[in-house]
């Protein structure tokens, strides 16, 4: 890690899936994502650590009922919400998370509380005990739209494999899915952190566990940090986040690591996406799905991937060149 101050960078996502319906859908999601960047990036400029920015950014996305994490999470086949989240501190190379938790507003807060614990990944019962220890009030993250969605699918005997990527049916194609939120940050000291949170696929087998609380879906070192979205089983099979980070650590550029990894994922017919940063300030993203709901702050401007179409699997913004 450099002792010299660096330009902070930030990239976030709200899931991946099939195409949004029309320009209206794009603009609604764009406003939600850009609003988070506009609130979090000034914190990085003011000296917040990457980990602090990630936790706050994940909380804002979890609190937006449009996305499938925290409030607005999808229901499993028995009508219950079970959420997972994790946080990883890059320089410390420390991972923490919670799996299949219920009745909590922000699962990322539980993951954050476990960062300094000897036991850093908890399942449902342990996470509820932690919730009581932290004196956080119980919270019901269910929304009317998600309940109606589940009731409709129950009447159809759960023929759909997963719920909508965002919780506004009029904005999403019927086949949309793969909902997760994630935040990756580089702070002014060159430190990286990443957080990922999800409500799962929706309508799945009771107790199914997503990739979001695994290094396959959320991973960071001092060199790079990656958050994934898509079909969790595909992400796990590719060990996507850890694979990209290890390739950067082994000497590939962030773009090269994304490119090689997504070519493999595409060849294996996976349905997924990822966002990432490296310690130089490079930003990258990739997808095999139709749409990746991501947005980023380069330090100079905000951009997003909402209308990124075509066969291109990977895109990136290189690190600034020091003169």
pLDDT tens profile 56-109 = 999 999 999 999 999 999 999 999 999 999 999 999 999 999 999 999 999 999
- Edge-to-edge strand ranges of the sheet holding 283-287: 218-220, 224-230, 272-278, 283-287, 314-317
320 pLDDT more than 60: yes
Residues 6+ apart with CB under 8 A from 197: 58, 61, 62, 69, 70, 83, 84, 85, 86, 107, 108, 180, 181, 182, 212
**Active-site hit among 49, 71, 143, 180:** 180
Run of H or E including 317: strand 314-317
What are the CA-CA distances from residue 137 to residues 33, 85, 103, 134 (Å)?
27, 18, 9, 9
CATH 3.60.20.30 fits 9-317, yes or no: yes
Under the phi-then-psi rule, with left for phi > 0, alpha for psi from -120 to 50, and beta for the rest, what region is 158? left
> Among this protein's residues, is 180 annotated catalytic?
yes
248 pLDDT more than 70: yes
- Could you tell me the pLDDT band of residue 244, with boundaries at 50, 70 and 90? very high
173 pLDDT more than 50: no
23 pLDDT more than 60: no
1 pLDDT more than 60: no
142 pLDDT more than 70: yes
Residues β-bridged to residue 283: 277, 317
Q: What is the pLDDT of residues 266-293, one digit of tens each?
A: 999 999 999 999 999 999 999 999 999 9
Q: What is the pLDDT of residues 39-51, one digit of tens each?
A: 999 999 999 999 9
pTM above 0.75, yes or no: yes
- Edge-to-edge strand ranges of the sheet holding 83-89: 121-122, 94-101, 83-89, 192-198, 181-186, 9-17, 291-297, 302-304
Q: Residue 305: its pLDDT value, please?
A: 96
Q: Residue 4: its pLDDT value, please?
A: 76
Averaged pLDDT score across all residues of the chain: 91
Q: Answer whether 85's CB lies under 8 Å from 122's CB.
A: no
- Could you tell me the pLDDT band of residue 17, with boundaries at 50, 70 and 90? confident
Q: Residue 167: its pLDDT value, please?
A: 55
Domain ranges of the chain: 9-317
Q: Answer whether 34's CB lies under 8 Å from 302's CB.
A: yes
- Could you tell me the pLDDT band of residue 156, with boundaries at 50, 70 and 90? confident
Q: Residue 98: its pLDDT value, please?
A: 98
């Amino acid at each position: 890690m450099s002792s010299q101050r660096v330009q902070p960078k930030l990239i976030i996502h709200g899931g991946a899936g099939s195409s949004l319906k029309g320009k209206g859908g794009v603009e609604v999601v764009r406003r939600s994502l850009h609003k988070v960047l506009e609130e979090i990036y000034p914190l990085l400029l003011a000296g917040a650590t990457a980990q602090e920015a990630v936790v706050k950014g994940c909380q804002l996305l979890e609190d937006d009922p449009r996305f499938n994490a925290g409030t607005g999470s999808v229901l499993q086949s028995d009508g219950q919400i079970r959420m997972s989240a994790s946080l990883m501190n890059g320089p410390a190379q420390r991972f923490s998370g919670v799996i299949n938790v219920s009745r909590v507003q922000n699962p990322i807060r539980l993951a954050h509380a476990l960062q300094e614990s000897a036991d850093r990944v908890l399942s449902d019962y342990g996470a509820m005990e932690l919730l009581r220890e932290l004196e956080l009030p119980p919270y019901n993250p269910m929304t009317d739209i998600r309940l109606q969605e589940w009731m409709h699918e129950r009447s159809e005997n759960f023929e759909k494999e997963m719920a909508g990527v965002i919780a506004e049916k009029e904005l999403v194609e019927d086949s949309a899915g793969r909902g997760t939120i994630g935040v990756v940050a580089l702070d002014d000291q060159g430190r990286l952190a990443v957080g990922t949170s999800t409500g799962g696929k929706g309508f799945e087998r009771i107790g199914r566990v997503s990739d979001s609380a695994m290094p396959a879906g959320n991973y960071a070192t001092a060199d790079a940090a990656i958050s994934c979205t898509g079909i969790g089983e595909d992400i796990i099979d590719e060990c996507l986040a850890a694979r990209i980070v290890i390739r950067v650590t082994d000497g590939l550029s962030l773009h090269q690591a994304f490119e090689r990894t997504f070519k493999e994922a595409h060849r294996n017919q996976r349905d997924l996406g990822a966002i990432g940063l490296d310690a130089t300030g490079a930003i990258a993203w990739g997808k095999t799905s139709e749409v990746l709901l991501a947005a980023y702050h380069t330090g100079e401007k905000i951009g997003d991937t909402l209308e990124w179409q075509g066969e291109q699997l990977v895109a990136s913004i290189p690190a600034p060149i020091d003169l």
